[in-house]
Homo-oligomer: A and B are copies of this chain.
Amino acid sequence: MKEHIKVLGIVVEYNPLHFGHLNHIHQSIELVNPDYVIAVMSGNFCQRGEPAIINKFARTEIALRYGIDIVLELPTVYAIQDAGGFALGSIGILERTGVVTDIVFGSESGDLEFISKIAHLLTYQSPEFEQSFKRQLKKGYSYPNARKYALMEVIDDGMEKLSKPNDILGIEYVRALLKYDSKIKPHAIQRVGADYSDETYRGQFSSASAIRKAISHGEFSKISNAVPEWTLKVMESEFEKGRGPVFWNNMEFVLAMFRKMKREDFENIYSFNEGLDLRFVESARATGDFQDFVDRIKTKRFTYSRIRRAILHVLFEMRKKEVELSDERGPQYLRILGFTEKGRELLRIMKKSATIPMISTASLYKNVLDETQKKISEGKGHFEVEPELYIWQFERDILASDLYTLMYPNKKEAAAGMDFRQPVRTSFPSA
């Protein structure tokens, strides 16, 4: 790591970028006073198990307009996992740039000390906690809720802080930093604006969900006071071309897929444990309505997000083996989605500091791997890459894009191979 520069890393989805995000960028910069800002961003599918409202390149452009110097893609395998896997991937990316010195995340409590305490407790689990956790699972709670209630039993104080999504994510970020034995310094800043799952439209304090909801209701004009100018401009341009808004429409086709599958076909796919396979098979047979299908699966344990992510795990062929290996070994490449002129300087530094290969031209991903392996065999650089996992992770991103474009309103724009056609976004002035 270059000690003489300060690089801020943040983890984002920007689906789409709104004033709350902008505020987070400004606050983080003020707090850390960095030389550069790197964002690791979900690609075409987000952690709620849904396609992003506009594609990753369009969202990258917006990010570069508002103070981010480099946007790196969070590999799909992490982007569509629960908070734990999401954090493992995003912190892994920031860590493996070799340049990030600080990360700042939004948090409902803003209490880093408390978040760290819990992160340590979860990482170095006490027998007391483990027993409580098992008890909660037996009661039928979902994994995150069981963990929450177990923590509530073990910790006397501050229980109310355990249930908020950004605090939970914060705990996972700190755990991931521990896992990577990272020197990156975490900061928590108190979130302003709506809860991310609050779908009520609240003007400039609207959550991304509320903004997407307004768009889905055809109220695009309404959002002009909730998102900054470039978000509006880029979305308008994408919508005009028929490349958005992208929603999970006409998902009935997945029922066809599931009706063709037997229980054992789900066996090797990530997320299909605790009887979820049977619920999928039976529900797909019971109805031809997608929402009804999801509602039939829904239980305390299987939340909507988890169900949607599980559907994506089938679509993207996310097998248990590779997902678990991904969580163990971390991300295998830095996919550069875009950078500013200033970001270009930092990329030059990263060429020496990064501990995983950097991919800027998607079509060359195999060449990049070959070159890296050559470097390793020549004893040059310190790399943590596993060739098969690298290929597997990257090909999930490609497949995700190939299925994503099929959801474009304009089917003529929906060709496959977006990653191979789209140049990295570079033509933006530094903010």
Contact = CB atoms under 8 A, between A and B. Distances in A.
A402 B399 CA distance: 27
A256 interface: yes
Interface in A153-210: none
Given A260-B399, A317-B260, A406-B259, A287 B253 contact: no
A280 to B, nearest CB: 13
Contact of A288 (B253, B259, B411): B411
Contact of A412 (B257, B259, B287): B287
Interface stretch (A227-235, A342-350, A367-375, A413-421): A413-421
A284 interface: yes
A402 B250 contact: no
B289 A416 contact: no
A408 interface: yes
A169 B402 CA distance: 41
A156 to B, nearest CB: 50
Contacts of A324: none
Nearest to A403: B256
A260 to B, nearest CB: 7
A273 B250 CA distance: 31
Given A250-B253, A253-B252, A406-B252, A415 B260 contact: no
A354 B200 CA distance: 67
A317 B257 CA distance: 12
A5 interface: no
A224 B405 CA distance: 42
Interface in A214-266: 250, 252-257, 259-260
A285 interface: yes
Contacts of A402: 259, 285
A286 B420 CA distance: 13
A315 interface: yes
Contacts of A403: 256, 259-260
A295 interface: no
Chain A interface helix/strand/loop/mixed: helix
Report copies per complex. 2
A405 B405 CA distance: 27
Interface size class of A (residues with CB under 8 A): 20 to 34
A386 interface: no
A406 B289 CA distance: 8
Nearest to A414: B288
Nearest to A405: B288
Contacts of A284: 416
Interface in A259-291: 259-260, 284-290
B406 A288 contact: yes
Contacts of A406: 252, 255-256, 259, 288
A252 B317 CA distance: 19
Nearest to A410: B288
Interface string A391-431: 00000000100110110100111111100000000000000
Contacts of A414: 287-289
Contact of A253 (B253, B289, B399, B411): B253
Ranked nearest first, the 10 interchain pairs of A and B with the lowest CB-CB distance are A288-B414, A253-B253, A289-B411, A285-B416, A288-B411, A259-B402, A288-B406, A250-B250, A256-B403, A286-B415
22 contacts: A250-B250, A250-B252, A252-B406, A252-B411, A255-B406, A256-B315, A256-B403, A259-B402, A259-B403, A260-B315, A260-B317, A285-B402, A286-B416, A287-B412, A287-B414, A288-B405, A288-B408, A288-B412, A288-B413, A288-B414, A289-B414, A290-B411
Interface of A: 250, 252-257, 259-260, 284-290, 292, 315, 317, 399, 402-403, 405-406, 408, 411-417
